[in-house]
Amino acid sequence: MNILVTGSSGWLGQNLVLRLKEGGHQVIGLDPVPGPHTDIVGSVADRAVVRAAIRDNAIRGIVHAGALHKPQLATHDSAQFISVNVQGTMILLEEASAPGSTVERFVFTSTTSLMISRQIGAAHRRGLHRAFWIDEEMAPLEPRNIYGVSKLAAEHLCRMVHDASGLPIVVLRTARFFPEEDDMARDIIQSDANIKANEFLFRRLTVDDAARAHIVALERAPQIGFDTFIISALTPFSPDDCEQLVEYAPMVVHRYFPRYREIYARRGWTMFDCIDRVYDSTKAMRRLGFVCSTDFGDILAQMDRDDGYLDVPVSRVPWAS
Ligand SMILES: NC(=O)c1ccc[n+]([C@@H]2O[C@H](COP(=O)([O-])OP(=O)(O)OC[C@H]3O[C@@H](n4cnc5c(N)ncnc54)[C@H](O)[C@@H]3O)[C@@H](O)[C@H]2O)c1
């Protein structure tokens, strides 16, 4: 299939293009930044570029992963977020659904971050009684920054264009898969690799799984029509755990993984005392047929097998690469 991938020079985009090509697809990458998988150096906010990209290449599927996102909050203003994430998405959707367009499926990379309000984000500092159990039904959505607001607006544009044109569109609210250190982790005592491993319990996935989710969504879009899915490693927790997760999370983790303390101790790793939110990705499992291939249990098993690689740089730690 001829597929247009926006954001093809990015972390997810490069991984995704590679996988799509391995799967036998013809892929056209579009990104303002040149890269090994970028064929068109340009912006989704430029209608002429988008129109030519779709028409000249008889594009049948689009994965829209290109965006300004969290790291750019420090360097770009709100108008730029609106221009790229909202206006750019609208242009792409309009061109994809225009009369004569060959596009028959569309996948939009959204973010779990848009479900985090200012209140949820700061809850752990305010005597939270139970962790937030976050699924696709959560409402109202009150994103705390322009990144979340622009992504939520883009999600609405996806729904609106699907309603008007019937173009199959799948929205993936993806949890974190970035390899960099979290700039919000300053007050966390654990090392970066330790933090990332912990996060697989409730809010992280590998970039490989993120790419695979997009491929499954592309395949399934015509049967699905329109829907929104949280994509994150499957959590072992249930809503019944939410009180204990904020009281003392290590106890809950120990219940599900009795050997975790011993395996962690070999590296001097520890669990977070408090887990304040859990992303529930079971809808993706049920309706999209997608489950992340790496979860916390896999990481523990891997750590158990590969005992002694305490000093492996995080870029080489499998779940961060
Ligand atoms: N990294 C994460 O943990 C994470 C979590 C949730 C959602 N996401 C989403 O996943 C997608 C990819 O993120 P990533 O981590 O690979 O980020 P990235 O910054 O590595 O890649 C994003 C790419 O989008 C490109 N881009 C920027 N402006 C563009 C424009 N006007 N037109 C086309 N492309 C443009 C950038 O040049 C970059 O190559 C983004 O939509 C992001 O919001 C990322």
Residue 275, sorted as left (phi over 0), alpha (psi -120 to 50) or beta, turns out to be beta
Distance 254 CA to ligand 1 centre (A): 35
Q: Which atom of ligand 1 is nearest to the CA of 176?
A: 3
Given the structure tokens 């990209």, which residue do they identify?
Answer: 53
Grouping H, G, I as helix, E, B as strand and the rest as coil, residue 293 is: coil
Token digits of residue 190 = 């654990």
Q: Is 14 in the pocket of ligand 1 (CB under 6 A)?
A: no
Ligand 1 centroid to residue 4 C-alpha, Å: 15
DSSP string, 208-270: HHHHHHHHHHHHHHHHH-EEEEEESPPPS--GGGHHHHHHHHHHHHHHH-TTHHHHHHTTT--
Ligand 1 centroid–CA 187 distance in Å is 26
Looking at the CA of residue 113, tell me the nearest atom of ligand 1. Answer: 6
What is 2-310's CATH topology?
Rossmann fold (3.40.50)
Q: Are 153 and 144 in contact (CB under 8 A)?
A: no
Q: Strand, coil or helix: what is 171?
A: strand
Q: Which two tokens stand for residue 140?
A: 């109202």
Distance CA 211, CA 145 (A): 25
Tell me, what's the pLDDT at 124?
65
pLDDT of residue 212 exceeding 70, the answer is: yes
The alpha helices in the chain, defined as continuous H runs, are 11-22, 47-56, 78-81, 88-97, 118-121, 146-165, 192-199, 207-224, 242-256, 260-265, 282-283, 296-305
Residue 183 pLDDT > 90: no
Q: Is the CB of 294 under 6 A from ligand 1?
A: no
With a cut of 60, say whether residue 311 has pLDDT above it: no
Cβ of 32 below 6 Å from ligand 1: yes
pLDDT value at residue 120: 84
6 lines ligand 1 (CB under 6 A): yes
226 alpha carbon – ligand 1 mean position (Å):
22
Q: What are the structure tokens assigned to 281, written together? A: 């990705």
Indicate whether residue 212 lines ligand 1 (CB < 6 A).
Answer: no
The predicted structure's pLDDT at residue 125: 63
Q: Is 175 left (phi over 0), alpha (psi -120 to 50) or beta?
A: beta
Q: Is the CB of 167 under 6 A from ligand 1?
A: no
- Phi/psi at 287 (nearest 5 deg)? -100, -30
pLDDT digits (tens, 9 = 90+) for 216-253: 999 999 999 999 999 999 999 999 999 999 999 999 99
Taking the whole predicted model, whether its pTM rises above 0.75 is answered as: yes
Whether 8 is in the pocket of ligand 1, judged by its Cβ within 6 Å, is no
The 8-class DSSP code of residue 85 comes to I
Indicate the top mutation candidate among 11, 54, 192 to test ligand 1's pocket, ranked by most ligand atoms within 8 A of CB: 11
Q: What digits encode the pLDDT tens for the residues 259-274?
A: 999 999 999 999 999 9
Q: Please name the residues in contact with 219: beta carbons below 8 A apart, sequence gap of 6 or more.
A: none
